[in-house]
Amino acid sequence: MRECILRAGTTMREAAKVVLAALREIFDENAYARFLAAHGMANSREAYAHYLRETNHARERRARCC
């Protein structure tokens, strides 16, 4: 019984990690972290403004369908 409870707890933690990782991708937190690492910047208002300008510029250049 105890082993089953421990496995369930581990499974729940793993599921929570997957859900959190998905949410970070959906809300661009991981993309921002990758941007900071790629540009060697620290988290700041200026860095976030630069990130927004760069991502908005990239989105504007994408071809739109229909």
pTM strictly above 0.85: no
Whether 44 maps to a domain, the answer reads yes
Question: Which domain range does residue 56 map to?
Answer: 2-61
Summarised one tens digit per residue, pLDDT across range 16-46 is: 999 999 998 888 899 999 999 999 999 999 9
Whether 23 maps to a domain, the answer reads yes
Whether 37 maps to a domain, the answer reads yes
Whether 52 maps to a domain, the answer reads yes
**What ranges in 1-66 are assigned the alpha helix state H?**
2-26, 29-39, 45-61
Domain count, the chain: 1
Residue 5 has pLDDT above 90, yes or no: no
CB-CB contact of 41 with 47 (8 Å)? yes
CB-CB contact of 56 with 50 (8 Å)? no
Whether 66 maps to a domain, the answer reads no
Whether 53 maps to a domain, the answer reads yes
Whether 41 maps to a domain, the answer reads yes
From CA 50, how far away is CA 46, in angstroms rounded? 6
Q: Which amino acid is at 37?
A: A
Nearest to 33 by CA among 23, 24, 20: 24
